[in-house]
Chain A
Amino acid sequence: MGEFKVHRVRFFDYMPTAIRAMAFNAHTERLALARMDGSVEIFNFTDHYFQEKVIPGKDSRSIESLCWVGGRLFSAGLNGEIAEYDLENLRPKYSLEAYGGPIWTIISNTQGTQLAIGCEDGTVKLFEVLEEHIQFERNLDRQKGRIISLSWHPSGTHIAAGMMDMIRVFDVPTGHAVQRLLVDRGFGGSKSRETVVWSVAFLSDHTVVSGDSAGKVQVWDGHTGTLVKTHLVTKWDVLALSVSKDESSVVAGTSEGTVIQFQFIAPTLHQQQDKEWVRTRTFKNHTHDVRALAEIETAIVSGGMDTHLVVRPLLEKFDENIEMAGFDPVLLLFFPQRNLVSCAKKAGLLLFQFPGQLELWRLGDSDEHGKPGDRLPLKRKPEKLLLLKRKGEDHICCSALSSCGGWLAYSTVSSVLYTLHTSSASPRTPPRCLLPPANHQSSLLLLPSLSASMCTPSSPSQVSGSSNMSPQLGCSSLENHRFLLQPIHLMTTSGDGKWLAAANSDCEIHVYNLQKLKLHCIVPVYGSCPSAMGIHPTTNNMTVVHADQQLFEYSIVEKQYTDWSRKLQKQGLHNVWLDRDTPVTHVTFNSKNPNQVVLHDMHMFCIIDQSLPLPDQKTQFYNQMTLRSLSEQERPSHLHAFKICKTFQDLLCVSLLDDQSLVVVERPLLAITSQLPAPVRQKKFAT
């Protein structure tokens, strides 16, 4: 295949924010996750943990707790507001002040008719869930001290509330507190400090489980208000609890980064009736506080200060072979599964998207040539051309850069802004134009390469385009003949600007003709969400990669899958390819060689050469090392279409510039870890 010059970029200081809260919807199998910056992410657990929706954060928003009511998502935070989210337009639908001071927690009853929040002023407030809104109903008996955590009894008649030094059990119909469970303080110096009950869980048999700041997981009898069992699990805090659906298991997350499982089992084989809560397993996948936990049918999901989401499968529910094969079953989700980096292929520019700003960089240059493995001396260092800070409170949700590097656009939930900077001579030209905010609430932006036009999906049903970036704007929108329910999360245009493809989280892909401003065709729906797609600049074939790693090539002109795609589907993708655990996030092409498609996920990039034979299951899939060791004559018989390079890790973007050099944007996890605050306890060797 040959040699490539690689621009290895590590100066994108992307920093994900800590995970604060989590809620799992067992019915739709969606996990909602809130981060410290107020953003909310939705993961589809039926589709390879694909991050299908992201609601961008906002400076004033803080989320302490998330709660599903049917398909509706509510959050509450220390700003004292309850918010409901519009999961179709990916923005808050409305928010309302609860008038109880900062809100620590929000829960719903199992029937989905009421919400309860725990407030700083000591009240538990009930809200009625209406069709389009929620309405304040009443307060339960006001307590002294803040309400930190809440849990609703499955029958709906009682609520347990975790407070300072105690747990209260309320009778919901009367609103009176019926039990007071006193929680011990910690030992030694912490004796003078109040114990915070960070989390409570109310089980069907009126057992209350609590986790507190003294490091205890305690089991109480909710009827009598007596302590049944105390498990001292850490010197620090127990921050989160989650109960499995069948109530046979409880997991607790601690400040040490451990997740500890308790199971309701008989301690001896002879007395199967005499069950009790027994500490069983400890998982350590975090370095910092575990702030959010969810125990789902097959796995424990956890997240916290160290920003990554961990899905730890419960192995007894899997085939034993998985464990035998030495396969590490833990899934770690680090990076957002969408593009934060745009690359101008012609100009050699990179646009980095941060929540609060954009950075435009010009890549460095080198005249030298070297052999594989060499690092070339730089003639020109990379240069930061532009730092563009957003306006307003809303975080940047998307950005785009045209391939000539002359156009740049970004969008927040409320506005789209685009700017132009003509050349490197005057890179600091101020932003030129702001589209009217009313029309555009965009989650995705795209700047097609040739024409100076811009596409933004706005409301679900629409794709808008604006062209001719002169002071007078020409805007047009593409109306769908079909009503799309889900938001568009991916868009791509062809090199000649004729075609636009848009995909939504219902797995539908629509192709539009931009010249006629009409829907051209609909790609057959595949059962997994598209995670990346691209239209070939010369053949106008569209390559689509899905969350389940399947790969299709669709001819837009002929409105059918290409022969290569059919051949690939017939033969099947290699198991090694299918077993990868991060989705492909970017598809790009080689303008010089129409056979080559460049893809990447977090751990590798792959150049697919369609002229080479496809690998069958017996073929060694990662064969670059083998090929290297073979002689020139032996090599051709071992070649296959998937050329995978794992030299670069923790990838955010891989692109092939027009001068045939590769751009690789790495964000080493170690660098992210080093920017985190110190963990509460770090075990040091030999101390």
Chain B
Amino acid sequence: MAALYEGFTLCGLVQTQNASDSPIQGIELDGDSDHAVVTDSTRSVTLYKVSDQKPLGSWTVKQGQLLTCPAVFNFQTKEYVVVSDNKVIRVWKDEDLNLDKAFKATVTADVWRVHSAPGGEPVVLFQRGAVRFLDSLLSAPQQPVEDVLSEEEVIRWSTNIVAEEQHFVLFTTEQKGECCLYVQRLNPNTLQKYRLEREDSGASPLSFSASLQDKHLNLLYLYPNGCVYQSVVAARGYVGLEGVQALPRSLRLMVPVGEGELGAASAVALDEAHVAVVGVPHPSARTGKDFLCIWNTNFQTLQAGKEMAGRIHGQVWCYLGKLFVSHGKALSVIPYECQKSSLASALGKLRHTGLAGNAALPHGTSTGRISIKCNCSQRNVKLGVNCVQPQPHQTGPVDEVQREVEALVSRGDAQDLQLSVGQLACHLVARSQAETAFYTPVALAQLVQTQFLCHSVCPGLLLLSLEHKDYFLCQLCLQLFPDIPEVVTCACLKTFISNEVLQTPYSDNFLLPHLKDLDTQQVILFLQYLQFVYLKYSQDVYTQTPGLRSPTMTQIIDWVCLLLDAHFTVLVMAPDAKGLLSNLQSFVKSQVKLFSELGKIESSLQELHKMKLSKDISQYSIEVIELF
């Protein structure tokens, strides 16, 4: 799970004359984790203490001069570096007040960016693609700089990555609609060029983000149609390869774009499973493209969303658990949290393994991700048609809606169903919420059973069914949705107890506060139920029928622990919980005793293991060794 927390404004932004230009060139880190170096689009560099929202220092170049690259911090010499007017590199220290008096060096070619990262020397990337270490460049500023790129090729984006002993500069270029990725390895220097796959629409990516994961460089890029692709380049190897390689890509995420294409949007990878996207619409609040959303790419689910006031500039930076977003007239800092959700642990609490086969996850599994790799723009067109034509679900009576849904479901074209089912469900839920008389349980159940829905696609559905006391639909949702928020799970608990609730995936940290909302009677009832289920299953562990959906022992124990954690003090005081608690205590006692007995055996078993090993060494053998 992931969450966005309450943000705050770091600084106001000056509007530029040209509205399409962003007012910020870049945000970089300082030696201090709480500092941010913000370079605006014109002349000044400001150092902020982020938690205090307060500027610590500001440096400006003279009128007429222009900063052409974001200022960076040289972690080795503790100096700041910026480039003005493309060719003048300026280096200054924290205590320098005047930027004009600081060290200056003019180089022979236009600089694109200076990059710096902890643990690595700063590097200078020239507009024509050449790369130099800052140190060696400053020692001979007038050294000739070669052209790497062809005439019409321009750099769109660049970054550098420093990982133990490896230093990379990555940049993407564009030439006549063709995008290329260059990977420059430093020490030893090698340059590798990759061609990105062309999008059918001919559009070029809106944003790039790169990270080093597992000895692979991961490049994440967002297209205007909402597709987020990932390409992987091995950090080692392929050094000797000549020429241009085609860069294979895989679709990580399809962000719903609503009407029209995305304009100023940007995606940044937060970890292996989470992507933050800014400048996109929220799927359930279809108003405008001014949301910051965190998506889980493994499950294709929306984890958190936040509306950003004002125009989004399509810029997002991510440093140390904080997202920096420029929007409207402000630069906002939004702390976030991504709980590491490994698939294995999620599955552990997700479903009974025996059932995983027949209950396929709605477009969340890895096989699903590959299969969606298809023409997205076409689908957008189709959806557009859907929306334009007057449809029965918008005004028609229940039976007409029912017919429409049946027609849609029976079409069986899995590829297209995915989005249209979501759209339709959202419409129906919205209409039901608006007109109290309108409720189509059969149609909704059919839609849920297509298994193309999940909670984040249609958040109102489960609550609506709860409202209408439609427990069949509730059960169905609990059974089939992989991403029900903990608060909704608890809401279900309050209304009814089922096998199904216990099996919904959750994470302890998020569930605990919501569990506290339950009142004592509910908790006691629930605990009694859990105890009953536990006793029932512990008696006939081996006779569980595989077809029946039943929670596993660990799921039951987990829930008991969570409930006790949340309500222990209250339960101790409640007289009617006494018997229950003493039962549980005696149960725990017997378990502890069992485990301690097992612990005693453990060492003996280990000894057996060791004895087996020592037998392996024979009295005599002929071996081959090599000495160098």
Contact = CB atoms under 8 A, between A and B. Distances in A.
A670 B614 contact: yes
Interface in B572-628: 599-600, 602-603, 614, 617-628
A10 B624 contact: no
| Residue among A5, A8, A628 with the highest chain B CB neighbour number at 10 A | A8
Nearest to A626: B628
B628 A628 contact: yes
Given A670-B614, A685-B603, A375 B622 contact: yes
A686 B602 contact: yes
Interface in A541-579: none
Interface stretch (A432-440, A528-536, A639-647): A639-647
A373 interface: yes
Interface string B449-476: 0000000000000000000000000000
A592 interface: no
B624 A376 contact: yes
B622 to A, nearest CB: 5
Contacts of A628: 626, 628
A227 to B, nearest CB: 42
Nearest to A666: B617
Contact of B623 (A6, A11, A623, A685): A6
B620 to A, nearest CB: 5
A4 interface: yes
A10 B618 CA distance: 8
B606 to A, nearest CB: 8
Contacts of A8: 620-623
B600 A643 contact: no
Interface in A213-229: none
A1 B625 contact: no
Contacts of A366: 622
Contact of B624 (A371, A684, A685): A371
| Most chain A C-beta atoms within 10 Å of own C-beta, residue among B603, B617, B621 | B621
Nearest to A3: B626
Nearest to B601: A686
Contact of B627 (A2, A382, A668): A2
B133 to A, nearest CB: 25
A364 interface: yes
A374 interface: yes
A11 B619 CA distance: 5
A6 B614 contact: no
A381 B620 contact: yes
A372 B600 contact: no
Given A685-B603, A686-B602, A645 B625 contact: yes
A623 B628 CA distance: 9
B622 A3 contact: no
A473 interface: no
A378 B628 contact: no
Interface residues on B, range: 10 to 19
A5 B627 contact: no
B617 A10 contact: yes
A9 interface: yes
A7 interface: yes
Contacts of A365: 622
Nearest to B620: A382
Contacts of A4: 624-627
A381 B621 CA distance: 9
B628 A639 contact: yes
Nearest to A364: B620
A511 B625 CA distance: 36
A324 B619 CA distance: 40
B304 to A, nearest CB: 47
Contacts of A643: 627-628
A6 B624 CA distance: 6
A138 interface: no
A627 interface: yes
Given A670-B614, A684-B603, A374 B624 contact: yes
B628 A9 contact: no
B283 to A, nearest CB: 53
Interface string A651-687: 0000000000110000010100000000000001111
B627 A686 contact: no
User: Considering residues A376, A661, A668, A686, which has the most beta carbons from chain B within 10 angstroms of its beta carbon?
Assistant: A686
A372 B625 contact: yes
B624 A2 contact: no
Interface in A2-26: 2-11
A668 B619 CA distance: 11
A627 B628 contact: yes
A1 B627 CA distance: 6
A686 B600 contact: yes
A5 B619 CA distance: 16
A407 to B, nearest CB: 25
Contacts of A661: 622
A2 B626 CA distance: 6
Contacts of A374: 623-624
Nearest to A638: B628
A487 B603 CA distance: 53
Contact of B625 (A3, A10, A381): A3
Given A635-B628, A686-B603, A9 B623 contact: no
B624 A373 contact: yes
Contacts of B618: 10
Nearest to B614: A670
Nearest to A11: B619
Given A686-B600, A686-B602, A7 B627 contact: no
Contacts of A373: 623-625
A364 B620 CA distance: 8
B628 A5 contact: no
Nearest to A13: B619
A685 B610 CA distance: 14
A628 B614 CA distance: 28
Contacts of A10: 617-620
B620 A376 contact: no
Interface string A628-639: 100000010001
Given A670-B614, A684-B603, A686-B603, A364 B622 contact: yes
Contacts of A378: 620-622
A624 interface: yes
B622 A6 contact: yes
Interface string A350-390: 00000000000000111001111111101001100000000
A607 interface: yes
A370 B622 CA distance: 10
Contacts of B626: 1-4, 372, 628
Contacts of B624: 3-6, 369-374, 376
Residue among B614, B617, B620, B625 with most chain A CB within 10 A = B625
Contacts of A627: 628
Contacts of A376: 621-624
A36 B621 CA distance: 33
A536 B117 CA distance: 60
A607 B620 CA distance: 23
Nearest to A376: B622
A686 B599 CA distance: 8
Contacts of B621: 8, 375-376, 378
A9 B603 contact: no
Contacts of A639: 628
A635 B627 CA distance: 12
4 smallest CB-CB distances across A and B, nearest first, come from: A627-B628, A372-B626, A1-B627, A11-B619
Given A10-B617, A376-B622, 19 more contacts: A1-B626, A2-B627, A4-B624, A4-B627, A6-B625, A7-B620, A7-B622, A8-B620, A10-B618, A10-B619, A370-B624, A371-B624, A373-B623, A375-B621, A375-B623, A378-B620, A623-B628, A628-B626, A643-B627
19 contacts: A4-B626, A5-B622, A6-B622, A6-B623, A8-B623, A9-B620, A11-B619, A372-B625, A375-B621, A375-B622, A376-B622, A378-B620, A623-B628, A635-B628, A643-B628, A661-B622, A668-B617, A686-B599, A686-B602
Interface of B: 599-600, 602-603, 614, 617-628
